[in-house]
Amino acid sequence: MYKYSCPRWWGYSQGLRNMNTGNITSEDEVVELAKQDANNYTGSKSCDISLLQKFHVTMKSVKNNKILGSNVIWFHCSSLGEYEQSLPLIKKLKEKKSNYKIALTFFSSSAYGNKLEKHLCDWSGYLPFENSNKIDELTKFINPKLLVLIKNEFWPNLLDVLNQQKIPVISVSSRFNNKNFFFKPWASWFLKKIKTIKYFYTVDDKSKHILNKKGIKNSKCLGDTRMDRVYKLASKNHKNNIIEHFKKNKKCWIAGSTWKEDYDLITEYIENIKSPKVIIAPHDCSSSSISLIEKKLKIPCAKFSSYSYENDNLKKVLIIDSIGYLKYIYKYAIWAYVGGGMGKKGLHNILEPAVYGIPIIIGDNYKKFPEAADLINRGDCFSVSNKNEFNEVVKKLSIKSNYIKINPREYIMKNLGATNMIFNELELFLDD
């Protein structure tokens, strides 16, 4: 399955398509085949492709690989966010349990390919979409001592197969609320499968209490590994020559993980003469996404991938059209806007700017993100629902007496340590 976005004379043709890859196993070849398929389907000549699931490629590659060995820990992450959340624990395992190998599976393509820290995993692939036979085949190939599910990655067929093979499963950094669908009376069959999980390590006490009420007593509140992750990244103090040249001695703010809905909110202020320099890092770095930003703004923009040291520093806007930089460049901002909260997609990671101690502005769709509510209650984060509210918050942040009171980094510091505590628990499931 892949997602396509193809320019046509009336706009963009977008959607999802399934494609049989035959004997092709190369990621690059699959992408090229998908582009050809989308071009033929839409009549376009320059489609952008995003792989979502590679069922046939995944299972063929499994059959052609050798067995990993007898000491394997299997991590399953939905997408990039969960992968980032798993990294502190994986790194700890590599440091302390070097005799174990790491297998990684994903549902989404957003964490796959060049975004992986490949020295940390011994094998990676996609999880077959709830196909018991293929999951059984994959499980026998990986042959894990333990499966670690990051957040709420609960797949009934996966849990069934692991339970039948007597392989323990633990849930790490999980969060629950009473509205979770598997707590509904009609989903009792799903809850029964979830109860086969050996232990739940939740991010908060509320989640632990909810599990207890549902008859699940095997849980502990050990916190969120993302706190350790962002703290470690910030401690490395990465330097970016392009950002420093663009910014020089001037103030700038960053709009990170942005979508179309976010531009309706922020473009008017960007064009305002009072706005400092701005760095925009969209969630989607496809050519169509970058073109949309340029179309929305009525001022010249520099692009990270083609930055000119001769004259691009004179421009007001720098677009980050490459993946993997955002989490390191928030440190250059006086404040940040984090996208996703103005639409239905949901808020993106606000801990990445929070660790640098800068104020954060978000949309109003943050109810599923307790860290956002915590930071709003602290006065470190501001939720807005329209551009007037956005402009008012920005005006407030321009007053130094308001600004110096804000320090979301304190929130991060108070919640460190989940990685070590979860690692100590995980050791109980491993044979040495």
Whether residue 243 sits in one domain with residue 215: no
CATH of the domain at 245: 3.40.50.2000
- Helices 156-164 and 132-142: crossing angle, nearest 10°? 50
Q: What's CA 141's distance to the chain center, in Å?
A: 27
**pTM value > 0.75:** yes
Helix 387-397 crosses helix 260-271 at what angle (to 10 degrees)? 50
Are 111 and 28 within one domain?
Answer: no
CA separation for the pair 276, 146 (Å, rounded): 50
Task: Say if 341 falls within a structural domain.
Answer: yes
Please list the pLDDT of the chain residue by residue as tens digits (432 residues).
Answer: 677 788 876 667 777 777 777 666 566 677 788 888 888 888 887 888 776 655 444 544 555 454 566 789 999 988 777 888 999 999 999 999 989 999 998 876 655 554 567 678 888 888 876 677 888 888 888 999 999 999 888 988 999 999 999 999 999 999 998 888 888 889 899 999 999 999 999 999 999 999 999 999 999 999 999 999 999 999 987 899 999 999 998 999 999 999 999 999 999 999 988 889 999 999 888 888 899 999 999 899 999 999 999 999 999 999 999 888 999 999 999 999 999 999 777 899 999 999 999 999 999 999 888 899 999 999 999 999 999 999 999 999 888 777 778 899 999 999 999 999 999 999 998 875
Same domain, 187 and 307: no
Residue 228 lies in a domain: no
Q: Are residues 293 and 372 in the same domain?
A: yes
Task: Classify residue 187: in a domain, yes or no.
Answer: yes
Position 128 scores a pLDDT of 77
Distance CA 367, CA 180 (A): 13
* Domain contains 29: yes
Residue 159 lies in a domain: yes
At residue 371, the pLDDT reads: 93
Q: Are residues 196 and 106 in the same domain?
A: yes
Domain CATH for 423: 3.40.50.11720
124 inside domain: yes
Range of the domain at 383: 233-414
Let me know whether 12 and 69 are in one domain.
no
Element (H, E) at 413: helix 409-414
CB-based contact 75:85 (threshold 8 Å): no
**Interval 386-406: pLDDT, tens:** 999 999 999 998 887 777 788
**Shared domain check, 394 and 251:** yes
271 and 387 together in one domain:
yes
In whole angstroms, what is the distance from residue 62 CA to residue 74 CA?
14
Are 262 and 126 in the same domain?
A: no
The sheet carrying 11-17 orders its strands as: 11-17, 2-8, 48-51
Q: What is the pLDDT of the chain when averaged over all its residues?
A: 87
Tally of domains within the chain: 3
Domain membership of residue 335 (yes or no) is yes
| Number of residues in the chain | 432
Nearest to 244 by CA among 321, 326, 305, 331: 331
184 and 313 assigned to the same domain: no
Residue 139 domain-assigned (yes or no): yes
Task: Determine contact, residues 95/120, Cβ cutoff 8 Å.
Answer: no
Same domain flag for 173 and 263:
no
Together in a domain, 193 and 304:
no
DSSP symbols for 323-375: TT-HHHHGGG-SSEEE-STTSSS-----HHHHTTT--EEE-S--TT-HHHHHH
